Amino acid sequence: MAMTLDVNGKPLAVKAAPDTPLLWVLRDELGLIGSKFGCGVAQCGACTVLADGQPIRSCVMPIEGLAGMKITTIESLGGNSPLQQAWVKHDVPQCGYCQSGQIMSATALLAAKPNPTDADIDAAMDGNICRCGTYQRIRAAIKDAAGMAAAAPVPVTPVAAPAAPAKI
């Protein structure tokens, strides 16, 4: 039984069984590999995509429930959205595996709240695990993308040129 999914603005016929989670249809059948598999039980957020603008965990969403909804994945952002620019500017990613999901959650957040508070960011981003611990930069990049200065700039001692060992 084939069904049609609206993915990134295109109606696409998919062959997968109706109980197949959206994530595996996106990745294995449609070749949209930006959304990742991390836990399979909606705990980590690596698979986050938007359905009618709302963030969903695609690893637990059977496609049969998504007919008629507009699915948006990381691939639709084009690589140059304000959030993606901020992500690159802050060198947010480390291993990078969670970042598609992080950016999709942040995209939904900024769409709903263009100037999010720290509490808004906590609420919107706590479903997305980053094992590398890039959380501080994620927060800074979201605020940057929202056109706000980060609450507290984090200084890194600049090392202009290697000097002699410090005297103690």
Partner 1 sequence: MNRILSPRETQGATRRDLVVGATLVGGALLVGCSPGDLLSVGAKEDFGAFGPFIKIGADGAVTVISKHIEFGQGNHAGLAAIVAEELDADWTKVKVEQAPAIAKVYANTGMGVQGTGGSSAISNSWTQLRQAGAGAKAMFIEAAANKWNAPVGEITVKDSVVSHAKSGKSATFAQLLPEAGKIAPPKAPVLKDPKTFTLIGTDRVRRKDSQAKSDGTARFTQDVQLPDMLVAMVAHAPRYGAKVGSFDAAEARKVPGVVEVYQIPTGVAVVAQNTWAARKGREALKVTWDETGAEKASSETMAANYRQWAAGKGTLPEKTEWQAFETKGDAAKKVQGTIFETTYDFPFLAHAALEPMNCVAQVGAGKAKLTFGSQIPTVDQLNTAKIVGMLPGAVEIETLFAGGSFGRRANFQSDYVAECVEIAKKVGKMRPVKLVWTREDDTAAGYFRPLTHHAVKITVDKEGYPVAWRHRVVTQTLMKGSPMPTKGVDETTVEGTKGSPYLKATPVVDAQVLMPDVNIPVLWWRSVGATHTAFVMEHTIDQLARKAGKDPVAYRRTLYEKAGATRHLAVLNLVAEKAGWDKPATAGWSRGVAVHESFGTVVAQVAEVQLVDGQPKVGRVVTAVDCGTAISPDQIAAQMEGGICYGLSAALYGKITLKDGVVEQTNFDTYRVLRNSEAPTVETHILPSGNAPSGTGEPGTPVIAPAVANALLALNGQATTSLPFVKA
Among 60, 97, 113, 120, contact with partner 1 (rule: CB under 8 A): 97
Draw the binding track, 102-121, toward partner 1 (x: CB under 8 A; -: no contact): -x-----------------x
Rounded Cα–Cα distance for residues 39 and 82 (Å): 28
Tokens of 54: 């709302």
Q: Interface residues for partner 1 in 37-96 (CB under 8 A)? A: 37-41, 43-44, 46, 73-75, 77-79, 84, 87-88, 91-96
Nearer to partner 1 by Cβ, of 52 and 126: the residue is 126
d(CA 69, CA 75): 17
Contacting residue, 67, 131, 147, 148, with partner 1 by CB under 8 A: 131
Query: Which backbone phi and psi does 108 adopt, to 5 degrees?
Result: -65, -40
How far is the C-alpha of 19 from the C-alpha of 93, rounded, in Å?
33
16 binds partner 1 per the rule CB under 8 A: yes
Minimal distance, residue 11 CB to partner 1, in Å: 21
Min CB(44)–partner 1 separation in Å: 6
Does residue 138 belong to the site contacting partner 1 (CB under 8 A)? yes
Task: Quote the least distance from Cβ 158 to partner 1, whole Å.
Answer: 6
For residue 107, the surrounding DSSP H or E stretch is helix 99-112
What gap in Å lies between CA 61 and CA 42, rounded to an integer? 9
Tokens linked to 133: 């611990």
